Amino acid sequence: MTTNIQKIKFFRRHIPTFVCKPGCVDCCGPVTTSPEEMSRLPVKTTKEHATALENLSCPHLGNDGCQVYDDRPLICRLFGTTPSLACPNGCKPEVMIAPGIEKKIHEFFSATRQVLV
């Protein structure tokens, strides 16, 4: 049986990458993620979470952008790689995510408990 961690690693390898517009944080709003991904992120205080939510932001967003970029959740990685989560600035990879992979990621989201980042 494939574990959630194995699935996450598989998905991460199959989500295309691209360069964002420098300084852009347009997709850095409140998101949910699996407990497995959340466990890789630094723990934030209740106050930090509340402030981020008030600002419709992410508690891991700092003055220089995402502070957890290498460990960012799958949903964050999907932004800009699929027409359903298009970058508002038009940034995208040369080749968009394969529809079958995107479908499996959404099935993973539906099948797993999600927590607010």
Q: What are the tens digits of pLDDT across the range 26-43?
A: 889 899 999 999 999 999
**Please, where are the H alpha helices in 31-87?**
35-38, 46-54, 74-78
pTM confidence score: 0.91
Q: Is pLDDT of 67 > 90?
A: yes
Q: What is the pLDDT of residues 3-22, one digit of tens each?
A: 999 999 999 999 999 988 88
pLDDT-derived band at 100, boundaries 50, 70, 90: very high
Distance CA 16, CA 117 (A): 22
State the Cα–Cα distance between residues 117 and 57, nearest whole angstrom.
Answer: 10
* pLDDT score, position 21: 87
pLDDT at residue 64 above 90? no
